[in-house]
Amino acid sequence: MIEVYPEQYELLLEEKKKSIQNLFQHLKHPELTVYRSTATHFRERVEFKIWHDAGKISYAMFNKGDKKTPIRLTSFPRANEKIANLMPDLLNKIGASEVLTKRLFQIDFLSTLRGGTLVTLIYHKKLTEEWEEAARQLKNTFNIDLIGRSRKQKIVFDKDYVIETLSVAGKHFNYQQIENSFTQPNAGVCEKMLTWAYENTMNSEGDLLELYCGNGNFTIPLSQNFKQVLATEIAKSSVKSAIYNLETNGIENVYIARLSSEEIRQALNRDREFRRLAHLNLDDFNFKTIFIDPPRCGLDDKTIELVSTFDRIIYVSCNPNTLRENIEKLPAYKIEKFALFDQFPYTDHIECGVILSK
């Protein structure tokens, strides 16, 4: 679960490639393109439980199904170098303070390729003024942003987000990434995913509909290849970040709507009107391409019905099994591009991308 053996990276990646080829062998597709990760220091987001023993604390993780036997960590080479270097000194400083240590049960790290680091300390106790003073000193010592969380409490020094800068086809885009919200954990591979999607949609005709847009991760670079983009997302915090990120990057041809996939299907079919779309006239859009990056469960049948009305589907999936099942329900389409993105080295997790056209 925890070990990293860089000398085995290529072998493990080859096994992932073979598993995907076997899973999709009955579907006609082009050669699989594989996008590698770095072998170490690839995660910008990590979370650890804190284990208390004889007055000392340590970072801990647990094997699936076993929450009683901690795997205590003295290092974590999967974390990016800023987090990996910060971890031991931060823990020592916290451990030297009773007020910071008492009832601490989790520490989360959120960092970036080119920016700062945010640390969240999570407690089973009320955070007092004494804790605030100690936490502020901790923040200043390590020059980090810091959050304290407890039941019905969230104390922030000074920001609850980081700004990530990602490079796509020679251009740089800035993203606000909020603590406790979903972001791609492997920023280096994320850049490769964005570049793949961008390069394969150049010179596109018509407009783009995007489902599950999150904080605008794909939306922002893809907006350059379409006249207009309508991007939908259901999580309020992600919608807020997406709007912020569009403004920060000067993107003016994207419209954000807080809608689920079922709601946008109803809106496009004119089955139902939504006040959240009152600022738009859907007749002004000429949708030809749809971009989807759904949860692990994939697409339900009604969403498959929606995507099947588009000339082209760009599908990024964190679950190859549901991706295959969804493609099997789209027999009118052929696979034009097929990619494997190694977001999570040393695990069974595989991220794929396909471009389907009628």
CA 36 to mean position of chain CA atoms: 17
**31 is a catalytic site residue:** no
Nearest to 114 by CA among 52, 163, 50: 163
CATH pick for 45-161 out of 1.25.40.340, 2.40.50.1070, 3.40.605.10, 3.40.50.740: 2.40.50.1070
Q: What is the pLDDT of residues 15-53, one digit of tens each?
A: 999 999 999 999 999 999 999 999 999 999 999 999 999
Q: Identify the active-site residue in 179, 191, 263, 351.
A: 351
User: What are the tokens at 228?
Assistant: 């207009």
Q: What is the pLDDT of residues 101-154, one digit of tens each?
A: 999 999 999 999 987 899 999 999 999 999 999 999 999 999 999 999 999 999
CA 332 to mean position of chain CA atoms: 30
**318 is a catalytic site residue:** yes
Beta strands in 212-347 (DSSP E): 229-232, 254-257, 287-292, 312-317, 334-341
Beta strands in 13-140 (DSSP E): 33-35, 45-53, 56-61, 71-73, 104-110, 118-123
pLDDT at residue 65, rounded to an integer = 81
> From residue 19, how far is each of 7, 14, 24, 34 by CA, in Å?
20, 9, 9, 13
- Which residues share a beta bridge with 51? 58
For CATH 3.40.50.150, the residue range(s) in the chain are: 6-39+169-357
182 phi-psi bin (left φ>0, alpha ψ -120 to 50, beta other)? beta
How far, in Å, CA of 88 to CA of 208, rounded?
A: 46
CATH pick for 6-39+169-357 out of 3.20.20.60, 3.40.50.150, 3.40.50.620, 1.10.1040.10: 3.40.50.150
Q: Identify the active-site residue in 164, 190, 210, 318.
A: 318
Per-residue confidence at 2, pLDDT binned at 50, 70, 90? Answer: low
Global pTM value = 0.93
For CATH 2.40.50.1070, the residue range(s) in the chain are: 45-161
